[in-house]
Amino acid sequence: MVSPAVSPVTAIEDSSAAVGDALMALIARLYPLPRSLTGRGVRETLAILGELIPLTLSEVPSGSPVYDWEVPKEWTIRDAYIKDASGRRIVDYREHNIHVVGYSVPVRATLDLEDLRPHLHTLPDRPDWIPYRTTYWKETWGFCLSHRTLESLKPGSYEVVVDSSLTDGALTYAECVLPGATTDEVLLFTHTCHPSLCNDNCSGMALATLVAQALAQRPRRYTYRFVFAPGTIGSLTWLSRNEDTVSRVRHGLVLTGFGDPGPFTYKRSRRGDAPIDHIVEYLLERTDGPKANIVDFSPYGYDERQFCSPGFNLPMGRLSRTPYGCYPQYHTSADTLSFISKEQLEGAYALLMRILEVVDADRKLVNTCPKGEPRLGKRGLFRSTGGTGVSNREEAMLWLLNQSDGERSLLDIAKRSGLDFTLIKSSADSLMDCGLLVDPA
């Protein structure tokens, strides 16, 4: 008997142009804000997200120990510029907030061009773009500018001002917790520290927010926890304050970079064979569009490396489109609204919602009538006229009854049978309704 072709997961099934428009509109609001590890831009960002989903904010004081790290001082930037001899601002923070190296210390000086050059960062191979650079853990300063601007500078003196401060303050992160029927959790993390960069990571914050908004309207088996925090120090800080609850995490994803033109990329958890790995890979194989990239875990990247550190080893992968550093616009002024598209965002929303649907539905069931094949006809589950083969739904029920021994999950059965997970899940519901399958949990 030949199994029917597996039906693909498509964006048209799970999303709409309205979702893409909403994601683009939210990204447009987030884009101008001057985010960093700490400070006003992060709080303003979280205030916008809090208009759409319920958020609980945490403020962790500067100097607080976080494993081998500590929460940094809070950075405030008010203005920054470089003026030439005529008083013209040739580099101006007010024109683009990545003109200043993130966490630059305050400076007011007049410098010759040769003394200024070591503090200037450009992209010679992309002469019209501005790079994004930071100096979180060393107190220094710098400016980012187009290489074309740098080449136009003439010898002489330049007025340099960075009107900033590094003071004792706090690191701010936010959580949206959607309680489910169980306290077992699905953890979704997205970083909040990048300033005016649309793909990295306004797209991750926007996607997480709209998915949380949708999940809030649905029944949930798991408790879903969305964490919005700065990269590295934010995830470490969250972990340090939640050690007593991380054991409840059953599945997790780090979310970033969903608007660029590339195909999806999934990075496996440190475990490599966690249920979330199998679920995402199964769905990516059945998603329309360019072939997705599946990559093994490595200890470099985004915050998955913190959640998957050996002291936690959480079942968390990373979902994105093109990975960091693999597209020219990465960490540059070219990561704008024109670089991303609502169609790519729609596809990401559809995929993530589908992943979470499977996460919530997948479970291991037990056949209550395992000796021989139960008589489905008398329960109205099998047609009365034989000799014409079985329907997809009947085949799904036979697979479920044969494989539901408490060891194999619904996803395992879908993969082995070649039948679509949705069909397996709905058929399992019918078998549970008549008592032939039970959930031993």
Q: For residue 357, give the amino acid letter.
A: E
Residue 305: partners with Cβ closer than 8 Å, 6 or more residues away: 299
Nearest-CA neighbor of 81 among 99, 61, 62, 98?
99
Residue 155: partners with Cβ closer than 8 Å, 6 or more residues away: 112, 113, 114
Q: What per-residue confidence (pLDDT) applies to 289?
A: 83
% of residues, the chain, pLDDT over 90 = 88
Considering the domain architecture, whether residues 211 and 298 belong to the same structural domain is answered as yes
What are the binding residues? 194, 200, 331
Contact (Cβ atoms closer than 8 angstroms) between residue 111 and residue 153 = no
CA distance readout (Å), 337 to 54, 105, 150, 295: 26, 30, 26, 28
pLDDT band for position 383 (cuts 50, 70, 90)? low
Q: What per-residue confidence (pLDDT) applies to 4?
A: 29
Name the domain count of the chain: 3
Q: What per-residue confidence (pLDDT) applies to 376?
A: 81
Q: What per-residue confidence (pLDDT) applies to 390?
A: 61
Q: What per-residue confidence (pLDDT) applies to 256?
A: 98
Considering the domain architecture, whether residues 153 and 195 belong to the same structural domain is answered as no
What are the binding residues for Zn(2+)? 194, 200, 331
Q: Which tokens go with 277? A: 């790995």
pLDDT band for position 402 (cuts 50, 70, 90)? very high
Summarize pLDDT for 304-357 with one digit per residue, the tens: 999 999 999 999 999 999 999 999 999 999 999 999 999 999 999 999 999 999
- Out of 134, 167, 200, a domain closes at 167
Considering the domain architecture, whether residues 331 and 290 belong to the same structural domain is answered as yes
Strand locations in 116-274, DSSP E?
Answer: 120-121, 143-144, 157-167, 170-178, 185-191, 223-229, 249-255, 265-267
Summarize pLDDT for 18-72 with one digit per residue, the tens: 999 999 999 999 999 999 999 999 999 999 999 999 999 999 999 999 999 999 9
Report strand pairing: 437-438 vs 364-367: antiparallel
Summarize pLDDT for 232-254 with one digit per residue, the tens: 999 999 999 999 999 999 999 99
Considering the domain architecture, whether residues 54 and 99 belong to the same structural domain is answered as no
- Whether 4 is covered by a domain: the verdict is no
Q: Which tokens go with 150? A: 């740098």
CATH number at residue 160: 3.50.30.90
Considering the domain architecture, whether residues 355 and 401 belong to the same structural domain is answered as no
Residue 198 has pLDDT above 70, yes or no: yes
Considering the domain architecture, whether residues 409 and 381 belong to the same structural domain is answered as yes
Q: What per-residue confidence (pLDDT) applies to 379?
A: 74
The DSSP element (H or E) to which 405 belongs, if any, is strand 405-409
Containing domain of residue 65, as a range?
Answer: 11-71+170-361
- Out of 167, 198, 220, a domain closes at 167
Considering the domain architecture, whether residues 303 and 181 belong to the same structural domain is answered as yes
Residue 1 has pLDDT above 60, yes or no: no
Summarize pLDDT for 15-26 with one digit per residue, the tens: 467 999 999 999
DSSP classification of residue 124: T
Residue 168: partners with Cβ closer than 8 Å, 6 or more residues away: 61, 62, 63, 73, 74
Contact (Cβ atoms closer than 8 angstroms) between residue 269 and residue 281 = no
% of residues, the chain, pLDDT over 70 = 94
Summarize pLDDT for 128-181 with one digit per residue, the tens: 999 999 999 999 999 999 999 999 999 999 999 999 999 999 999 999 999 999
**pLDDT averaged over the chain?**
93
* CA–CA separation, 380 and 431 (whole Å): 11
Q: What per-residue confidence (pLDDT) applies to 262?
A: 97
pLDDT band for position 10 (cuts 50, 70, 90)? very low
Residue 9 has pLDDT above 90, yes or no: no
CATH number at residue 291: 3.40.630.10
Contact (Cβ atoms closer than 8 angstroms) between residue 9 and residue 354 = yes
